[in-house]
Structure 1
C-alpha cells in the first residue's frame, strides 16, 4: 500500500484517492459541506487555509493545506518508486 503525504505528517492511501481538486469552485464547496453534514469530512489542515480537497472512494472528503499540484506530484513520485522495485 502506497501512502501520499498530505501535509503535517498526515497520509492517505494512494489507491483510495479518486480526485485531488482545488476548493475554490461552488460544487466543491458543496461537496465539502455535504461531507461535513454526513460526518465523512476529514480536516487535515491544522487550522490553515484549505488548498486541496481529496475525494476518496470510501465517500470521505479530506482537506489538505498542501497545494493540489504538490499532492499530485507526491502521488506520481510514489507510483514511479513502485515501477522501479
Structure 2
C-alpha cells in the first residue's frame, strides 16, 4: 500500500499513518519516541497545558509520542518502530496496537 500524500505549495508531501486513519506530514516530524519515560510524561502534561496535545490513540494505550516542528505532541497507540518503518516507506502488516 503506497503512503498517502498531501499537496503543499505544489509539491506532494508524504503523510505517515500514526494509527486509526490519522496521518502526520513527514516533514513536520522532529522525533518519534517511546512513551514510557518520566520526562516524556512531563512533556505530554506540558503540551496538554499549552493546548498542543493531539491524542490519536482512540482510547488505547499510548505506545509512542511524536513531536512536531510546531511543538505539537501527538500520542499514538502504534509502536515507535512501526511508525519509523512507515516513515521510511515500508508499511508493516499487523501488530503495533492499531485497530
Q: TM-score, normalized by length of structure 1?
A: 0.90
Q: Are 1:32 and 2:44 matched, yes or no?
A: yes
The higher-RCO structure (CA 8 Å, 6+ apart) is: 1
Structure 1 gaps, min length 5: 79-85
Given the alignment, which residue of 18, 36, 58 partners 1:46? 58
1:58 corresponding residue in structure 2:
70
Q: Are 1:7 and 2:19 matched, yes or no?
A: yes
Quote the offset at 1:72 in angstroms.
0.3
Structure 2 gaps, min length 5: 1-12, 91-99
Distance in 2 (alpha carbons) for counterparts of 1:57 and 1:27:
19
Runs (4 or more) in structure 1 with deviation over 4 Å come to none
- The total of aligned residue pairs comes to 78
Distance in 2 (alpha carbons) for counterparts of 1:11 and 1:23:
18
Q: TM-score, normalized by length of structure 2?
A: 0.77
Hey, which of these two has a bigger chunk of helix by percent?
1
Quote the offset at 1:12 in angstroms.
0.1
